[in-house]
Amino acid sequence: MSSVLITGAGGLIGRRVAQTMRRAGYDVRALIRKAGQNNTAGTIVHDLRLPLANVPPADWVFHLAGAYAGAGEDELQRADLAMAKNLIRWGISARVKNWIFASAAEVYGDVEGFATENSPTAPVIPYGRIKLQIEKLFIQELAKVPNCRLVILRIGEVYGSGSKLLSELTARLRRGFCPWPGSGEVPLSFVHVEDVAAAFLCAAQNAAPGATIYNVADDKAATWRDFTMCVASNCGTRGPQFLPMGLVKLYASASTLGCRLVGQEPVLTPHALRLITTPKLLSNAQAKHDLGFQPQYATYSEGLEEALGLSHHTQDGAAQASASR
């Protein structure tokens, strides 16, 4: 049985990846930062900002741990970069040969049209810059390891049941006031969290030796307006209120300053604002061709039905499988 160590296993994506790998027959070691009440067998509690010790080696390491995507440069350097360095240092000493790093679409920056894996990388926000920096760190350090395999997955906008994106969006829509910055016409690629987990499994099963990069996204381009209006329609509410960008930027700056003065976490930072106003269209053709990746939820509208509990897709599939046995 192959083993896999998953960092960030307590997060939205990490939990789904751990479940998917267990179902596929892998021995999963889930590394989380804080102990919880429902820790499963194989759970390792450790703050990755500190060096790793007394952790048994694994056949694979999936690195998903990281700070909030809307965080500033300093926090991301202190958290994400430190985590990656500690993990790589441990992995090399433990002779780990197979790695997957969860990167992000933001490494491309303000790309026009669909980004392929060969598109230039010019990130415009701290989150994209730190992800690209860690990509380069992995490539550089693991190049020294003989017969090593490194897969970098550049992931689109993730949603799914239990995601902060959907929980906050649906709560605001149901309250009747859901402000949104700008026109909402920013183009991007969404991906259901279950499909992200499937991409990790495909990479572990089918990736070639050496360092490879793949985009992970569904099959249909969209905009934030498309997505939020679809959520509103499924929830039976009116859509968001799209606000002028000048007004939103002023609020973000003032709110960030005011919250920091009183020691509170700002609701909307300029970094977070730039995060949701940066285009990120991804082509998933290479992942389909090389890894056999096929999103179960090919469009955000299909995925939202499942994520919001409105679809019988899973139950129907289970019933059909049972009837065919």
For residue 100, which of 19, 2, 4, 12 has the smallest C-alpha distance? Answer: 4
The overall pTM is greater than 0.95: no
Residue linked to tokens 């990069």? 213
For residue 272, which of 29, 67, 121 has the smallest C-alpha distance? Answer: 67
For residue 231, which of 303, 296, 179 has the smallest C-alpha distance? Answer: 303
- Measured from the Cβ of residue 276, the count of other Cβ atoms closer than 10 Å reads 18
Q: Using CA atoms, how far apart are residues 107 and 314, in angstroms rounded to an integer?
A: 33
Q: Using CA atoms, how far apart are residues 181 and 277, in angstroms rounded to an integer?
A: 8
Q: CB–CB of 226/302 below 8 Å?
A: no
Q: Using CA atoms, how far apart are residues 295 and 196, in angstroms rounded to an integer?
A: 8
Q: For residue 159, what are the β-bridge partners?
A: 192
pLDDT value, residue 38: 54
Q: CB–CB of 92/109 below 8 Å?
A: no
pLDDT value, residue 73: 81
pLDDT value, residue 313: 46
Q: Average pLDDT by consecutive 10-residue portion of the chain (325 residues)?
A: 94 96 97 75 90 93 87 84 96 96 96 94 93 97 95 97 93 92 94 98 97 98 96 96 88 77 73 84 98 98 92 43 35
> What b/e string do you get for 86-98 counting C-beta neighbours within 10 Å, with b at 16 or more?
bbbebbeeeebbb
Q: CB–CB of 193/16 below 8 Å?
A: yes
CA angle 112, 117, 119 (to 5 degrees): 35
In this structure, are strands 221-223 and 187-192 parallel, antiparallel, or unpaired? antiparallel
Q: Using CA atoms, how far apart are residues 187 and 237, in angstroms rounded to an integer?
A: 23
Residue linked to tokens 């350090």? 141
Q: Using CA atoms, how far apart are residues 222 and 1, in angstroms rounded to an integer?
A: 40
For residue 107, which of 139, 149, 143 has the smallest C-alpha distance? Answer: 139
Total residue length of the chain: 325
Q: For residue 98, what are the β-bridge partners?
A: 60, 149
In this structure, are strands 43-45 and 60-63 parallel, antiparallel, or unpaired? unpaired
Domains of the chain (ranges, CATH numbers): 3-158+191-217+283-295 (3.40.50.720)
Q: CB–CB of 218/159 below 8 Å?
A: no
